[in-house]
Amino acid sequence: MCEVGRACSFGWYGDLPEGCPPTEAVNPADGQFAYRLTSDPIHPDDFLSQFELTTGAGLNPEIHFQEIGVSQCLAKSLSLWETFEKGAKAARSTLLRQQGRTTPRKVLFAAGCGVLQPNRKGHVSWWRCAGYDPILHTEGAE
């Protein structure tokens, strides 16, 4: 699977740029968790990166993220929240409500699931291993 400092046997999910994930990212502890905002019921699109969502919206993500000062590496990660409360607060944003992603759900991490990087105010970026299905590790998924 995928861990810091080791080759990723399944490969990283998505086409990541050189040097991504960053070396500062860490392997999550087995049983560690964070919250992802999802739709209800949960859908595979709930685990698309902002880069993928921007592509699906008909925008050129390379240009869009460069214009707003977000690296392509960061845009290709999944956004999670350290606590349910922080996820619920983020779910009130207009963009996430428009996307229908208003339900914070606990995502459980296992060894080799990918790497995490805490960013700001309880936000966590997750670059996941292609062999790790997040839906199977998300509470409330049928």
Q: Supply the pTM of this predicted model.
A: 0.85
Query: Residues 70-115: pLDDT tens digits?
Result: 999 999 999 998 988 888 888 888 877 777 778 888 999 988 889 9
Task: Tell me how many degrees the CA angle 109-113-115 measures, rounded to the nearest 5.
Answer: 95
Per-residue confidence (pLDDT) for residue 49, from 0 to 100: 92
Query: Given pLDDT bands bounded at 50, 70 and 90, which one contains residue 68?
Result: very high
Q: Is 9 inside any structural domain? A: no
Comparing 62 with 126, which gets the higher pLDDT? Answer: 126
Q: Is 37 inside any structural domain? A: yes
**71-110 burial code (b ≥16 CB/10 A, e <16):** eebbbbbbbbbbeeebbeebbeeeeeeebebbbbbebbbe
Residue numbers of the domain that contains 41: 33-137
Query: Given pLDDT bands bounded at 50, 70 and 90, which one contains residue 141?
Result: low
Per-residue confidence (pLDDT) for residue 4, from 0 to 100: 60
pLDDT at 142 over 60: no
Q: Is 47 inside any structural domain? A: yes
Q: Is 3 inside any structural domain? A: no
Per-residue confidence (pLDDT) for residue 2, from 0 to 100: 65
Q: Is 115 inside any structural domain? A: yes
Q: Is 125 inside any structural domain? A: yes
Per-residue confidence (pLDDT) for residue 16, from 0 to 100: 92
Query: Given pLDDT bands bounded at 50, 70 and 90, which one contains residue 8?
Result: low
Average pLDDT, integer, range 126-135: 91
- The single-letter DSSP state of residue 41 is S
Half-sphere exposure of 142 (CA within 13 A, CB side): 5
Q: Is 10 inside any structural domain? A: no
- Domain total of the chain: 1
Query: Residues 29-57: pLDDT tens digits?
Result: 888 888 888 888 888 988 999 899 888 77
